[in-house]
Structure 1
Amino acid sequence: MTSPPPIRACLFDMDGLLLDSEDKYTICTNAVLSQYGRPNLPWSIKAQLQGRPGLQAGKIFEEWAQLPVSRDEYMKKVTEMQKKLFPECKALPGVEELLKGMKERGVEMALATSSHSGNFALKTGHLGELFSVFDEEHRVLGDDPRIPPGRGKPAPDIYLVALETINARLRKEGKKEVLPEEALVFEDSVPGIEAGRRAGCQVVWCPHPGLLDLMKAKEDLILAGQMGEHKEEAGEESSVAVDGNGRRKGAPGEVGDGYGRLLKTLEDFPYESYGIKSKQSNHL
C-alpha cells in the first residue's frame, strides 16, 4: 500500500471543529427539551445530527424527541435562543494558530459547512479576522445551490465542491490542480469524516470528548469512512467527479490505509508529517 501524497489543500468543517457552536446547539436544544419534560439530548442521538443538513438532522431529532409540538413551533423556540448564543461563538483551541499556519505555508484552504447562510452570519459576523483566510469563493455553505437536495454530509458533494472552488482558481492561474488525495479534510463529526473519505480525501478527525467516548473501539472504521452513515441507492453517483486513479466514485476508504488520523486537539498540528513544508521552504 502506497503512502498518502503530501497535502496541498485543506478543507475545513466549521461547527464543533473551528467554533464551539456545537455546544451552543446542545444548550438550546436541551433548554427546549426541558420545557416539555424530556431528557437532555444524549450523545447517541447528537452524533447522528452532527454535520448533517438541517432537514435531515431534524427528522432524526423528531423521531427521538417525540415532542408534543409541531416542528415549526420547536424551531421557533430554538431559533430564538440561537440568535442570542451564536454571536458569542469562539474559536476552539489551536484553531487560530492552525489557520494562520496553513496560510503562511502556502496551503490552499476552503470552508465546507452544513450551516446555512443565515446561521453562518450569526456565528461568524464577529470573527472576521479568523475567517478572512477563506476567500468568499472558497466558502461552501449548507444552502449552496451546487449541492443537490439530499446530498449533504455524509455524501461527498460538499467537499468535492469546496475542492473545485480551489481548482477553478488554480486553472485560471495556470497552476496544477489539487487531486482529492492531496486534500486534507478536517472534521469533528462521523458523517463529515465519511463525506471526506467518499470524496477521496485524507481526513483528520478531531471529535468532541463526548463523541470520542461514545465511539470507543470504532475509531478505525470511522477514519476509513466505513460507518455506513450514507445509504447509497442503486446506481447513485455523486454530482461531482472524484479522481482519475481508478478509485470507485463515492466509495469510502479502507481501514488502515493511512488516509485518516485522529487528533484530540488542533493544537501543535504536525505539519511535516503531512508533507507540508516549513514557512520558508513551502513553494507548493
Structure 2
Amino acid sequence: MDSVKKSEMTLTVTASFPPVRACIFDMDGLLINTEDMYTLCANNILEKYGRPPIPWSIKAKLMGVPGSSTGEVFHSWAQLPISREQYDQEQKEQQMLHFPHCKPLPGVEELLLTLTSANNVNGDKVHIALASSSIKENFQLKVSKLENQKLFNAFLEHRRVLGDDPRLQKGRGKPAPDIFLMALKTINDSLSEGESPITPEECLVFEDSVPGVEAARRAKMRVVWVPHAGLATEYRGLEQKVLAGRIGLVPIGDEHQLGEVDDGWGTHLPSLENFPYRNFGIYV
C-alpha cells in the first residue's frame, strides 16, 4: 500500500480495490453550503435571546445527526429562555427564509458534470446517486434556486434517496448504512441491459459529516470525507479514526461493520476541487 502526501491529507491508494462504478453523494455541507445556513439560522435565534453564537465544539456534535439541532446537546448548551417547541418553530421560519439562498460548494459543479459522462478503467459507466438525510420539504427549499435545480439535475429522480423516503426504516438514519445501501439499490434496479449489479466495494461515498463517513463504512463502501474547515479543525489528529468510522458520535452497536485505522478505505480531502479520479479507477 502506497501513501501519497497531498497538503495536509493522506491519499491512500491500494490495488486491492476494484475500480469505482458508482458514486453516492450526501448533500448538506458537501454539495451545497447548507451547514453555513444551519449555523446562520441557529445564530439568528441565539442572538435574539441574548445567547452567544454556536461554537464548533458544539456544532461538531450535531452535524450529520438527525434531529440534533433541536436535541439535548444543543439545548443543554444554548440554555434558551423558550421551549424546544418554540425554538423548533423559529428555526423552521429561519430555514424558510435562508435555505433558498444555498450555493454550490467549490468543485461540485465540475465534479458532477464530469462523473455524468465518466467510465472507469474497465470501461464500465460510472453511475451517481444522492443519499441525503434532508426531508423532501427541506430538500425542495434548498434546491429551489435555478442554479441549484440545474446542479441536481445530474441526479436522476429515481436515484435520489431522502431522509423521509418511505423505503427507509424509521430510526435508521446515519450512522446506520441503510440510506447508502438503498441508494445503491436504486442504481442496480435501473442498470442498462448487460451491466452486472454493482457491489458495495465498487461504490464511493462522498460525505462531509462524521456519522456519514461511519454510515459509508458500515455499508462496506469506500468514502471521501470533505469536512467543513471548522469541523476539520475539531477533528485534527483524528482523521484516520474518522475515516475508519470509529469516532462513535452516535453509538448504534454492530461494531463489526466498522473499518480499521489506515485500512485505505477512506480519503480526506479539503474540497471537491481538482478531484483525483485516477485514485479510484475513474477515467475522465
TM-score (norm 2): 0.88
Give, as a single letter, the amino acid of the residue that structure 1 aligns with 2:269: L
Give, as a single letter, the amino acid of the residue that structure 2 aligns with 1:204: V
Bigger fraction of residues in strand: 2
The runs of at least 4 consecutive aligned structure 1 residues that moved more than 4 Å come to none
Q: Quick one: distance in 1 between partners of 2:50 and 2:259?
A: 42
* Candidates 2, 15, 18, aligned match of 2:28: 15
1:86 is paired with a residue whose SS is helix
Match of 1:266 in 2: 272
* TM-aligned CA deviation for residue 57 of structure 1: 4.4
Structure 2 gaps, min length 5? 2-14, 119-124
Counterparts of 1:94-133 in structure 2, within 5 Å, are: 94-105=107-118, 106-126=125-145, 127-133=148-154
Q: Quick one: distance in 2 between partners of 1:58 and 1:159?
A: 25
**What per-residue deviation string (whole Å, max 9, x for no partner) do you get for residues 81-138 of structure 1?**
2111111111000000000111110311110111111110000022221001111111
* TM-aligned CA deviation for residue 277 of structure 1: 1.5
Match of 1:277 in 2: 283
Q: Quick one: distance in 2 between partners of 1:256 and 1:5?
A: 18
8 Å CA contact retained: 2:20, 2:281 = yes
1:104 is paired with a residue whose SS is coil
Q: Quick one: distance in 1 between partners of 2:70 and 2:194?
A: 43
Q: % of aligned pairs identical?
A: 54
Q: Quick one: distance in 1 between partners of 2:60 and 2:268?
A: 16
Give, as a single letter, the amino acid of the residue that structure 2 aligns with 1:268: N
Match of 2:220 in 1: 200
Distance 1:48 1:173, change over 3 A: farther
Asked if 1:231 is matched to 2:251, the reply is: yes
Structure 1 gaps, min length 5? 238-247, 279-284
Counterparts of 1:72-111 in structure 2, within 5 Å, are: 72-105=85-118, 106-111=125-130
1:169 is paired with a residue whose SS is coil
* TM-aligned CA deviation for residue 3 of structure 1: 2.4
Q: Quick one: distance in 1 between partners of 2:107 and 2:50?
A: 38
* Candidates 176, 179, 190, aligned match of 1:158: 179
Give, as a single letter, the amino acid of the residue that structure 2 aligns with 1:193: V
1:185 is paired with a residue whose SS is strand
Q: Quick one: distance in 1 between partners of 2:281 and 2:129?
A: 19
8 Å CA contact retained: 1:225, 1:253 = yes
Give the RMSD, CA atoms, in angstroms: 1.7
Q: Quick one: distance in 1 between partners of 2:244 and 2:250?
A: 13
Asked if 1:217 is matched to 2:230, the reply is: no
Give, as a single letter, the amino acid of the residue that structure 2 aligns with 1:263: L
8 Å CA contact retained: 1:4, 1:258 = no
8 Å CA contact retained: 1:155, 1:230 = no
Match of 1:242 in 2: none
8 Å CA contact retained: 2:70, 2:87 = no
1:186 is paired with a residue whose SS is strand
TM-score (norm 1): 0.88
* TM-aligned CA deviation for residue 174 of structure 1: 4.5
Give, as a single letter, the amino acid of the residue that structure 2 aligns with 1:169: S
Match of 2:197 in 1: 177
8 Å CA contact retained: 1:17, 1:92 = yes
- Number of equivalenced pairs: 262
